[in-house]
Amino acid sequence: MSKFKAATTNRGKWNAIQMKQAVMYVLDGKLTLKCATEKYNVPRSTLHDKIKLLKSGKEIIFKPKLGRYEDTFDEKFPHELYNHIKKMDDRLMPLTKMEFEIG
């Protein structure tokens, strides 16, 4: 018997392209919210949230995001940190583990 069980939810499994099309059709008035969710197979609450943000003038991202926390650093930060550490090592000033500890 397996120790871990597989995920049983469909959260975050919607397609970004279908979500974008659903938002366009609802904003243009060609489809209702309910019809768009059924036609494009996207969650109704997520579609409603995206439309609400667009109507209030905010920018939206068509990518599933689970959880309430946001990334602190962007995707290029680890690469920049690695390059900085390599440069310091090349200058004979290597960083030690003690310098990375917090507090």
pLDDT tens figures, 75-86:
888 899 889 888
pLDDT for the residue 66: 79
- From the number of C-beta atoms within 10 Å of its C-beta (0-12, 13-18, 19+), residue 26 rates as buried
The CA distances from residue 64 to 61, 81, 92, 94, in Å, are 8, 27, 44, 40
Report field, pTM of the whole predicted structure over 0.85: no
Backbone angles phi, psi at 98, to 5 degrees: -60, -35
pLDDT tens per residue, range 12-64:
888 999 999 999 999 999 999 999 999 999 999 999 999 999 999 998 888 88
- Two structure tokens written together for 18: 């279908």
